[in-house]
Amino acid sequence: MAPRVEPGWGSFVMRSAFVLLLIIGLLAMAGTPGPQDSSAQGQSETQERPRLDDFGSSLKRLKWDPEKRTAVETGKPGRRSGSATDGDVVRIETNLVVSDVQVRDKSGRIVDGLTENDFLVSEDGLAQHIEHFSLGSDQRLGRSIVLLIDYSGSQSPYIKSSVAAAKILVDQLSPQDIMAIVTDDVALLVDFTRDKTKLKQALDSLVKKSAARDYGRSQQFSALMATVREMFTEADLRPVVIFQTDGDELFCLQPSNPPIMSIPEVYLPPGSTTIPPASFSLRDVYQAIEKSRALVYTVIPGIRVTGPATENEPEWSISPASAPATRVRTPLTETRSWFQLAAAGAAIGGWTSYLETPKQAPEIYRSILADLNRRYVIGYYPTNKAHDGSQRKVSVEVRGHPEYSVTGRRSYVAPALNQ
């Protein structure tokens, strides 16, 4: 069964009161021109944002609990170098919930031109007062974008066009946007920067490596897990991940309990594949995305699997079975369908596109930026101020227009007592 593609749910996240003050400060500087030189922008960003020295380290703190059948955290989370110590942090009990939402009419067309007074927001059924409202195209509200690109062997036919399209994305970044690049090696190729030259040079390096058959390691979900757990801080008002992969790390993840969608409960035992076994399940990945507050857009290179294998590809592949240390013959299209379904499911807040031919890449990347620009950014202080780690339901409606469809994440996770 092929994945169903539809607009996802936008980002509802817990934000500290500092975020609102930061937004007000940005709006107050509306008349101040941004820096023009891209290298100067990059230098400024390096000085302002703490470094991430050991990307992927959070995965080492995850241990699989076979009884609970979930990943559990061990040890304390790390922090970016140069970030404030606990003694420097001013903890404020009231938090701001921020959401990127998109509105469509009954014909599926995006509705532009709405104002703060057009929206009604509720949390767990209780009305909330909107404290912040802005348009997604407002360049003063910078986006923190991570491009997670899979350059494994299966992606080699698409890597050149994908990199060319990603450069279009880089060129269209606003002066307040920052971008980072992560690969399926679970490697941080470039940390957040505004230096467009640096970003393009890093992308070009992937084309050269692929041409030399120096491919990535197909640890796409591991890289995604590390990204949503490590890359973003409270200063990131609009975190975004572009996840480009075919998802073939799926069977090296622990089995989800209960299984997700129609994906079978399978797991490859250690030593049966060149991809290292993970200490978490696909369900753990999805939950980490929800908690991260990031919008995720998935781009799947390759033909969308909707039918039997073509005459130009093998009819059968080898895939794992549920029984330990056994592998069975499975139709190739079915295996690819599972991979694609898992990758498409990561598009929480965004949506999934299929890069079936290399020439589609530029339009896909342009569409992602266009989607971000045509959203509404809404923030409110929740009336429920408890730090209990609970999941809370959020509803956003357009006043007087029950026929409108508002896409935005339907819930968020409140901070725990120690946060």
Give the least confident one: 30-34, 216-220, 348-352.
30-34
pTM comes to: 0.78
Residue 183 has pLDDT above 90, yes or no: yes
- What is 139-373's CATH superfamily? von Willebrand factor, type A domain (3.40.50.410)
According to DSSP, the β-strands at 143-149 and 238-244 are: parallel
Give the residue, 388 or 203, on which the prediction is more confident. 203
Q: What is the dihedral of CA 284, 286, 287, 291, to 10 degrees?
A: 130
Q: Which of 164-168, 278-282, 311-315 has the highest mean pLDDT?
A: 278-282
State the pLDDT at residue 140.
83
In this predicted model, what pLDDT tens digit does every residue of 96-155 receive, in sequence order?
888 888 899 999 899 999 999 999 999 999 999 999 899 998 888 889 999 999 999 888
In this predicted model, what pLDDT tens digit does every residue of 294-335 receive, in sequence order?
999 999 988 887 544 444 444 434 444 443 444 444 555 677
State the pLDDT at residue 306.
52
State the pLDDT at residue 419.
56
State the pLDDT at residue 75.
76
Domain ranges of the chain: 1-25+90-135+376-419, 139-373
Residue 74 has pLDDT above 60, yes or no: yes
Banded model confidence at residue 182, pLDDT cuts 50, 70, 90:
very high
In this predicted model, what pLDDT tens digit does every residue of 48-65 receive, in sequence order?
567 787 999 999 999 999
State the pLDDT at residue 52.
80
The three-state secondary structure class of 343 is: helix
Residue 83 has pLDDT above 60, yes or no: no
Give the residue, 168 or 336, on which the prediction is more confident. 168
Counting residues of the chain whose pLDDT is more than 70, the rounded percentage is: 76
In this predicted model, what pLDDT tens digit does every residue of 103-112 receive, in sequence order?
999 998 999 9
DSSP 28: H
State the pLDDT at residue 318.
41
CATH of 1-25+90-135+376-419, one of 1.10.10, 2.60.40, 2.40.128, 3.40.30: 2.60.40
State the pLDDT at residue 328.
41
Distances (CA, A) of 163 to 90, 157, 307: 42, 12, 29
Contact 296, 11 (CB under 8 A): no
Banded model confidence at residue 31, pLDDT cuts 50, 70, 90:
very low
DSSP string, 334-399: HHHHHHHHHHHHT-SEEEEEEE-SGGGHHHHHHHHHHHHHT-EEEEE--S----S--EEEEEEEET
Residue 398 has pLDDT above 50, yes or no: yes
